[in-house]
Amino acid sequence: MKILITGSSGYIGKNVYEYFNNKKYYVHRFNRNDNEKKISLQNYDKIILNFEPDIIIHLANKSHTYSFSQKDYEQSLNLAKYLINLSLKNEVKKFIFLSSIKVNGEFTVKNKKFDEKQTSNPQDLYSKSKLSIENLIEENFKKTFIKF
């Protein structure tokens, strides 16, 4: 099983990478920095030439704790579109995207818990980018055999 993980140098990504790597899966990391087993985001096409994943786990994004600009928003969407197209081209089995609770809003009303029945209410560019990517994934995969 070939697994492509974006954002494997981040807090969550490191643990996800280690988990699958320790289970002896063939894991390829896709990060901002070039070094061993990593591919620069500026060189997307290297993935197509060298690696055809069965599963894509998309964790990469600039953290919401820092200023998230319009440029960051556009880069996030472009990477997601690229990974979606890669998934469709290579007929991946599964696409996993880590979104954010922030797509539901900054706080709950009257201390009610967020749930999947609520209307999304993103308040900043970071959460809007996450919701946009969720929508792109659903639009592109709902009529395919790719699990998401």
pLDDT along the chain (148 residues), means of 10: 90 94 90 52 55 90 78 90 91 95 86 83 93 97 96
* Residue 64: per-residue pLDDT: 64
Q: What six digits make up the tokens of 11?
A: 């807090």
Q: What is the pTM of this model?
A: 0.85
Q: Which residues partner with 147 through β-bridges?
A: 94
* Residue 19: per-residue pLDDT: 96
Burial tier of 64 (Cβ tally within 10 Å: 0-12, 13-18, 19+): middle
